[in-house]
Chain A
Amino acid sequence: MKQKRNRLEIIRDILLTIKARNGRIKPTHIIYKSNLSYQMFREYLTELIDQELVLEIEDKKGRKRYELTRKGMNYLRDYSLIKNFTQSYGLE
């Protein structure tokens, strides 16, 4: 049985999904690709926007799109460091 994803892994999956679509993606695609419920998605997305890992952009028609910030890119680049450090020091 596949192990349940932890918080860091879910954040990584969301960021990877956004990155895979050249940095611009609709919310429905993120929910589908990152395998989250709508409620969970909203919670994580709010957190990621607050932490400036993801940027929310509204087009002329009022549709929302998401793209990675430089900090979001750094998160993906340093993901193994974050995971190893938080695991070692019990910070998960």
Chain B
Amino acid sequence: MQFAPLSPTWFLGYDVLFEIFFAVITFLISWLAFRVYRLTASNRTKLFAAAFLFISLSYTIELVYNFMIVTALNQNIHYSITFLTINVLHTLGIFSQAILMVIGLSILTYACLRVNKRRVLALILALTLSVILLEEDPLFYYFIFSTIFLAFISAYFFENYLSHKQLKTGLLSLGFVFLLLAKFYYIFSESNLLFYALGHFLELIAYTFITANLVLVLKK
């Protein structure tokens, strides 16, 4: 299986900067959720902590392989990296990124649906991961699953906003709507590279809203 790079050439490198931001923010959410879990012993909070940790790891893998590809293409640092190596890196990177993100979003959806049966989570994971691992075009299915999960997650955060009607819940709800839009645009990124950049810009807007929420959460 061979993957073509998704990023338009003018966007190579910038995507890495964006992904650093996404990885840091999602890690911060995971850390805060874990801190709250330690004091409240709430199982759903623990699930949120785990979900955001997987999402953060997914972004980290994505940024690492994108960075390696950029450096390899520049041929300034790693002279020995061939085109074949780039493809192997890309394949491994895409697979691990997709798997980690799908695990993270599955856990988040499971927590948002307030289901208390772990077997339901196991079923969601088995179905989604088997498709990603066995299908010929895993990237396409990864974006489809992410979009479906984010539709449920966005609905959850919108309902939460309606029940509180506060700035912080509104910002988070908007953030997840933009994440949903970003994942939706990524579906078309294999046919048009511009959608990859557009998806990243939408994710940047999403995480800006989520960061604004974090600032309010951390405010005394």
- How many cross-chain pairs have Cβ atoms below 8 Å apart between A and B? 63
Dominant secondary structure of chain B at its interface with chain A: helix
B169–A87 contact, CB under 8 A?
yes
Judged by a CB distance under 8 angstroms, whether A40 is at the interface is no
Q: B residues 115-162 with Cβ under 8 Å of A?
A: 156-157, 159-160
B39–A90 contact, CB under 8 A?
no
Assembled-state Cα–Cα distance A51/B163 (Å): 29
A68-92: CB near B (< 8 Å → 1, else 0) gives 0001001100101110111111110
Instruction: Output the least CB separation between B149 and chain A (Å).
Output: 16
A82–B213 contact, CB under 8 A?
no
A88–B36 contact, CB under 8 A?
no
B39–A78 contact, CB under 8 A?
yes
Q: With A71-B39, A78-B35, A82-B39 as given contacts, are A90 and B160 in contact (CB-CB < 8 Å)?
A: yes
Q: With A89-B48, A91-B45, A91-B48 as given contacts, are A84 and B216 in contact (CB-CB < 8 Å)?
A: yes
Instruction: Output the least CB separation between B172 and chain A (Å).
Output: 5
26 contacts between A and B (CB under 8 A): A8-B40, A50-B41, A51-B40, A51-B41, A78-B39, A80-B219, A80-B220, A81-B36, A81-B217, A81-B218, A82-B39, A84-B168, A84-B219, A85-B33, A86-B36, A86-B40, A86-B45, A87-B164, A87-B166, A87-B168, A88-B172, A89-B33, A90-B163, A91-B36, A91-B42, A91-B45
20 further interface pairs, Cβ-Cβ under 8 Å (given A50-B41, A84-B218) = A71-B38, A78-B35, A80-B219, A81-B36, A81-B217, A82-B36, A84-B219, A86-B36, A86-B42, A86-B45, A87-B168, A88-B172, A88-B217, A89-B48, A89-B160, A89-B172, A90-B112, A90-B160, A91-B44, A91-B48
